[in-house]
Amino acid sequence: MKYVKNLNVVILAAGKGKRMMSSTPKVLHNIIDKPMIYYVLKEAGKLNPENIYVITGHGRDILKGYLADNFPDVIPVFQEHQLGTGHAVSLLKEYVNENWESVLVLTGDCPLIKSETLKKLVASRQAGNYAGLLVTALLENPFGYGRIIKNQLGEIIRIVEEADATLKEKLIREINPSVYCFDVRALFDNISSLDSNNYQKEYCLTDIIEKFTYKNLKTSTLMIDDSSEILGINDRIGLSVVEKLMRKRINEKFMSAGVTITDPDSTFIGIDVEIENDAAIEPFSFIWGKTIIRKGCVIGPFAQISDCEIGSGTMINSAVIKNAKIGKNNNIGPYSYIRPGTVTNENVKVGGFCEVKKSIVGRNSKIPHLSYIGDSEIGENVNIGASSVTCNYDGFRKNRTVIGDNVFIGSDTMLVPPVRIGKGAIVAAGSVITEDVPDNAMAVARGKQINMPDGATKYRKKKESLK
């Protein structure tokens, strides 16, 4: 369902971002675990516009690739020469048809903007029949922003950029964050009349407000209370400031919904994460991607989790978990690594310094410490002794190990797949298993122990004689 009929969105993202000192396009620098433009696109998408257009320029191919992989419905428009924001928006003229009514213009480096603000802007423009309506904010330090110039009636008449402002105009605290909504006809009937007679020698979209004023077209402003919404990013310092605000916003959302976050300042949670109430997140935890954490979990400290589902009541301490599904009431860590494709069932323990890769672990099974389990299927009630390894790679292919229910694997065991350990079997410590073990059998695969009388004494004497 369309929030506002015939709305199209334009996101300006062609700039090089020189102050970022990077070969990566500015809008692809991360805020937590997502590029900054991701947040702008997600919020704009909540308005259900007809189309979203992204103006590309510097790093065009990189940005186009990101959009194709993550927002395939977004239409990239290439600005070959960066001649200003007015020129960038003018490139949309060839896409305009009779169905267009409102055009929302945003910048790709303003990731804190909220969809609620955008909805209010678009609806207010339509209700007031404005040619242009723009968001403004009051800043204590307005340096770097365009200033809003108003007449004696308090009506906006033009916008002046920082570089073109007089000393008096620079004292104005009401600023332009470059968030606009235009009537499509008013916009494209006047955009071609913009000129580059300014300090930047660019065709600036801000100048269109003065064009509207000259033609007695209705324009106005929508001032927002929370000025953090419109913070733009120009350098790495600004990037860190905005990331901290984004983390605060996300963490407070979860805490308000019944999640305990012990130290929000040291907790990093991505925008797409879901956490149910009565979960607890301990300090220095990083939770990213499309992760779901169920009720009653305790995550951290020092956990890194991405694109996982964590079952209720599970405890994860100082572990790295990626693209895995963890069952209820598991106990993971410390210093465990759960790799993609792993699925654990209820009441599973993966202890200290263990690695599990692309394996299924049955309920009530334990991999207590110092073991590697790869490409394996482990049944229920299995105990894997310390320092045991499934030797899944033979130099050519990955082979699978299958361990049945109620199996006991002794410490320091090497399982060389493809191999199957039958239900109820016991494998003696220190064994190297290369053949299947039948159900309820005991497997012992060791070389015969030889004790040489007084051998240690003779060995030491030999070494000392060589000094």
Do the Cβ atoms of 299 and 317 come closer than 8 Å? no
- Tokens matching residue 290: 């499309």
Polymer length of the chain: 467
Cα atoms in the 13 Å half-sphere on the side-chain side of 26: 26
C-alpha distances out from residue 383 to 83, 143, 241, 342, Å: 67, 64, 48, 17
Which entry of 29, 58, 87, 369 is annotated as an active-site residue? Answer: 369
Amino acid at 291: T
* Residue whose structure tokens are 């992204």: 54
Write phi, then psi, for 36 (nearest 5 degrees). -60, -35
- Tokens matching residue 3: 């929030």
Do the Cβ atoms of 156 and 150 come closer than 8 Å? yes
Write phi, then psi, for 327 (nearest 5 degrees). -80, -175
Amino acid at 162: E
Amino acid at 145: Y
Query: Residue 369: in which H helix or E strand, if any?
Result: strand 366-369
Q: CA-to-CA distance for 178 and 162, rounded, in angstroms? A: 13
Do the Cβ atoms of 121 and 179 come closer than 8 Å? yes
Amino acid at 263: D
CA-wise closest residue to 251 among 241, 262, 239, 237? 262
Query: Residue 223: in which H helix or E strand, if any?
Result: strand 219-223
81 is known as an active-site residue: no
Query: Residue 61: in which H helix or E strand, if any?
Result: helix 60-70
Catalytic residues: 369
